[in-house]
């Protein structure tokens, strides 16, 4: 039984959630339900008012009629007693028994009559009534008011089913008036009338009002649905057209006929879509021209650059024969030529990414060889900067289908940037692997980055501090190219930073080319014990893949205090290399 109730509750829950979702997602449903709710309240209030008015009118009119009839009956009974020649109590009792019958006392529409003696003296004759249950219908209040007042009084009563012809309780009214009985004194004459005909009339009116109310509500719902449909349908059509425009179908247009507001909306929407299409076409042409210009300029500059490099190398080779100023100029010329050549190569690579011409040359490689190759290349720079390098490798091989050249370029950019911004502090490389992905985390303990800097770190030609010189001759495109290389692998390149606590970059690649990466094998945020100086509640920012907007990651208080298994502890600040597994 409990399982059945749980199933019923689940079905009801799903149905209610579906109805709520439908109501929240449809403006037409909200308008119709709102109109019906207002209609229900209005019909209920109006129906209640009309029902009360009809009830009060029927009751008051019938009571007035019965008051007149009961008054005539009481006057006739008084006349009969006064004109009666009866002198003995037995004769008076017989007369009273006759006069309490409604058919005899003129109250032809009454259910019954009754004579009760006054309570202030001994009764000369017994009380008489037309039926046994009549006595219970006269309350002490009505009896007292009848004997104390010099006029006729009445009281509403409910006639029990045991004394009614229909077998159900009926509403009624009892009229009381004083009569003077010969030789017996004051008595109260009580006449009972049934209001069942008026009750039936009231029920008929209420049923009519109820049916009319439902009909009005149905009419309100239908009219509201039709009106909102005329207004909502063009809006839905506009939403569908806008969605197709957003999907790239720039030739999509709204059908519009007539001269009403909706037709004006359709024409305005179509004009806007045409304008957007024209602007997008112009922007695409401009973007194509810009990419072609960058590519053509890069290619065209290679020939003069080659000539300038040959001349520069000749001058650089003969620098010892030159005076100190010319020798320094020859060295600066050689350095800037190297940087110029790197910039041209990066511009060509960026233009290939923009044109969608970049392709992968996939092969199965172990990240260990790539990481050590990058570290060997960066060791001279680390020695000049006084930076200690450490590498942590997993126990199992980190093998994946990758483009070796592109992954090596990504890691070289990350390691070079880490060394440049480490401020002489250690730089750690950690390699991790899982059944579905491999990852490399490059961590430095230098100046770090703010959340806003993390959000822009992969932008082209962006610098955290524009006034800071590029001592290693960077082009400003390295991280942008690295991000494109990671996306080309269907991988992710993410960044984290905290001013004064360094930065961390994580490259995650799928083991099989083209598969998506769901759960990276290494955390991006450093362990909590290495970040003990971070204020409580500080939320670092991670830049997601595909250039999305920055999103918050869990508070560092939730990061386990234990270090990453196999991770190296920052070593001395002298240059060197440490490898751990």
Is residue 399, in this structure, part of any structural domain at all?
A: yes
**Same domain for 375 and 335?**
no
CA–CA separation, 486 and 507 (whole Å): 7
CA–CA separation, 557 and 531 (whole Å): 10
Phi first, then psi, for residue 101 (nearest 5°) are: -75, 125
pLDDT at residue 579, rounded to an integer: 58
Q: When comparing pLDDT for 243 and 341, which is higher?
A: 243
Mind listing the pLDDT tens digit for each residue in 259-287?
777 788 888 888 888 888 888 888 877 77
Is residue 14, in this structure, part of any structural domain at all?
A: no
**Same domain for 371 and 348?**
no
Q: How confident is the model at residue 19 (pLDDT cuts 50, 70, 90)?
A: confident
Is residue 31, in this structure, part of any structural domain at all?
A: yes
Q: When comparing pLDDT for 107 and 453, which is higher?
A: 453
Is residue 10, in this structure, part of any structural domain at all?
A: no
* Least-confidence region, from 75-89, 116-130, 289-303: 116-130
In total, how many domains does the chain have? 3
* Least-confidence region, from 57-66, 135-144, 521-530: 521-530
**Same domain for 289 and 203?**
no
pLDDT at residue 211, rounded to an integer: 94
Mean pLDDT of the chain: 78
**Same domain for 276 and 416?**
no
Element (H, E) at 349: helix 324-354
pLDDT at residue 295, rounded to an integer: 67
Mind listing the pLDDT tens digit for each residue in 234-248?
788 888 888 888 888
Average the pLDDT over 213-239 and give the result. 86
Q: How confident is the model at residue 40 (pLDDT cuts 50, 70, 90)?
A: very high
Kindly provide the b/e burial profile for residues 220-241, where b requires at least 16 CB atoms within 10 angstroms of the residue's own CB: beeebbeebeeebebeebbeeb
**Same domain for 539 and 510?**
yes
Asked which of 315, 342, 358 is the last residue of a domain, the reply is: 358
Asked which of 323, 358, 393 is the last residue of a domain, the reply is: 358
Q: When comparing pLDDT for 465 and 426, which is higher?
A: 426
**Same domain for 309 and 333?**
yes
Exposed, middle or buried: residue 94 (CB in 10 Å: 0-12, 13-18, 19+)? Answer: middle
Average the pLDDT over 521-541 and give the result. 51
Is residue 211, in this structure, part of any structural domain at all?
A: yes
Nearest to 127 by CA among 190, 210, 203: 190
Residue 570 has pLDDT above 60, yes or no: no
Contact 499/423 with Cβ under 8 angstroms? no
Is residue 7, in this structure, part of any structural domain at all?
A: no
Contact 193/158 with Cβ under 8 angstroms? no
**Same domain for 371 and 390?**
yes
Is residue 462, in this structure, part of any structural domain at all?
A: yes
Q: When comparing pLDDT for 364 and 528, which is higher?
A: 364
pLDDT at residue 578, rounded to an integer: 60
**What is the model's pTM?**
0.48
Both tokens of 347, joined, read 């511009």
Spatial neighbors of 183 by CB under 8 A, at least 6 apart, are 87, 88, 89, 92, 124
CA–CA separation, 370 and 412 (whole Å): 10
Torsion (CA) 541, 546, 548, 552 in degrees, nearest 10: -30
**Same domain for 262 and 315?**
yes
Where residue 215 falls (left for φ over 0; alpha for ψ -120 to 50; beta otherwise) is: alpha
Domain at 518, CATH number: 3.30.565.10
Alpha carbon separation from 419 to 304, 409, 527 (Å, rounded): 33, 15, 21
Domain at 188, CATH number: 3.30.450.20
Q: What is the 3-state secondary structure (H, E, C) of 414-450?
A: HHHHHHHHCCCCCEEEEEEECCCEEEEEEEECCCCCC
Residue 49 has pLDDT above 90, yes or no: yes
- Residue numbers of the domain that contains 257: 253-358
Strands 388-392 and 427-433, by their bridges, are parallel
Residue 76 has pLDDT above 50, yes or no: yes
Q: When comparing pLDDT for 561 and 426, which is higher?
A: 426
pLDDT at residue 547, rounded to an integer: 35
**Same domain for 532 and 444?**
yes
Average the pLDDT over 19-45 and give the result. 83
CA–CA separation, 543 and 553 (whole Å): 10
pLDDT at residue 77, rounded to an integer: 86
**Same domain for 274 and 409?**
no
Asked which of 246, 263, 296 is the last residue of a domain, the reply is: 246
pLDDT at residue 568, rounded to an integer: 34
**Same domain for 394 and 478?**
yes
Angle at 462 between CA 457 and CA 468, to 5 degrees: 105
Is residue 111, in this structure, part of any structural domain at all?
A: yes
CA–CA separation, 273 and 270 (whole Å): 5
* Least-confidence region, from 145-154, 438-447, 464-473, 485-494: 464-473
Number of neighbouring beta carbons within 10 Å of residue 184: 22
CA–CA separation, 477 and 471 (whole Å): 15
Contact 494/543 with Cβ under 8 angstroms? yes
Q: Indicate the DSSP class of residue 120.
A: T
**Same domain for 154 and 34?**
yes
Q: How confident is the model at residue 129 (pLDDT cuts 50, 70, 90)?
A: low
Mind listing the pLDDT tens digit for each residue in 470-525?
444 456 777 888 888 888 888 889 999 888 888 999 999 998 877 877 788 889 88
């Amino acid at each position: 039984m409990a399982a059945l109730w749980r199933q019923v509750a689940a079905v009801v829950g799903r149905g209610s959630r579906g109805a709520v979702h439908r109501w929240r997602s449809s403006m037409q449903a909200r308008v119709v339900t709102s109109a019906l709710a207002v209609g229900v309240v209005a019909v209920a209030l109006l129906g209640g008012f009309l029902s009360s008015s009809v009830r009060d009118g029927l009751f008051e009119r019938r009571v007035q009629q019965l008051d007149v009839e009961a008054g005539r009956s009481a006057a006739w009974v008084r006349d009969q007693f006064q004109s009666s020649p009866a002198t003995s109590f037995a004769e008076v009792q017989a007369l009273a028994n006759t006069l309490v019958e409604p058919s005899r006392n003129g109250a032809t529409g009454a259910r019954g009559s009754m004579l009760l003696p006054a309570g202030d003296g001994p009764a000369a004759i017994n009380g008489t009534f037309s039926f046994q249950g009549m006595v219970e219908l006269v309350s002490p209040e009505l009896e007292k008011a009848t004997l104390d007042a010099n006029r006729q009084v009445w009281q509403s009563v409910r006639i029990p089913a045991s004394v009614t012809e229909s077998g159900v309780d009926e509403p009624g009214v009892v009229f009381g008036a004083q009569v003077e009985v010969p030789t017996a004194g004051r008595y109260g004459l009580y006449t009972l009338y049934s209001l069942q005909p008026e009750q039936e009339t009231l029920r008929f009116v209420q049923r009519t009002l109820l049916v009319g109310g439902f009909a009005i509500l149905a009419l309100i719902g239908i009219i509201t649905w039709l009106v909102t449909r005329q207004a909502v349908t063009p809006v839905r059509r506009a939403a569908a057209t806008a969605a197709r425009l957003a999907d790239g179908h720039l030739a999509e247009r709204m059908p519009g006929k007539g001269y009403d507001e909706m037709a004006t909306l359709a024409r305005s929407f179509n004009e806007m879509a045409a304008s957007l299409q024209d602007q997008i076409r112009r922007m695409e042409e401009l973007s194509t021209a810009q990419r072609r210009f960058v590519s053509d300029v890069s290619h065209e500059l290679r020939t003069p650059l080659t000539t300038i490099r040959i001349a520069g190398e000749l001058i650089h080779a003969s620098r010892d024969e030159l005076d100190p100023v010319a020798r320094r100029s020859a060295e600066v010329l050689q350095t800037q030529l190297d940087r110029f050549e790197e910039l041209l190569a990066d511009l060509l690579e960026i233009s290939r990414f923009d044109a969608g011409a970049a392709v992968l040359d996939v092969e199965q490689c172990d990240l260990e060889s790539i990481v050590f190759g990058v570290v060997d290349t960066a060791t001279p720079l680390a020695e000049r900067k006084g930076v200690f390098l450490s590498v942590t490798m997993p126990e199992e091989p980190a093998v994946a289908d990758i483009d070796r050249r592109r992954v090596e370029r990504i890691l070289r950019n990350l390691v070079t940037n880490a060394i440049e911004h480490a401020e002489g502090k250690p730089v750690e490389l950690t390699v991790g692997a899982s059944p579905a992905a491999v990852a490399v985390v490059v961590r430095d303990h230098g100046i770090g980055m703010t959340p806003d800097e993390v959000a822009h770190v992969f932008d082209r030609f962006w610098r955290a501090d524009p006034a800071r010189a590029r001592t290693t001759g960077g082009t400003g495109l390295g991280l942008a190219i690295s991000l494109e290389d990671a996306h080309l692998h269907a991988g992710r390149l993410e960044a984290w930073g905290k001013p004064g606590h360094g930065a961390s970059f994580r490259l995650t690649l799928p083991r099989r080319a083209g598969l998506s990466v769901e759960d990276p094998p290494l955390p991006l945020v450093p362990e909590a014990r290495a970040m003990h100086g971070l204020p409580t509640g500080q939320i670092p920012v991670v830049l997601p893949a595909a250039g999305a907007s920055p999103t918050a990651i869990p508070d560092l208080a939730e990061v386990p205090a234990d270090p990453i298994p196999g991770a190296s502890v920052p070593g001395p600040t002298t240059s060197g290399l440490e490898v751990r597994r």
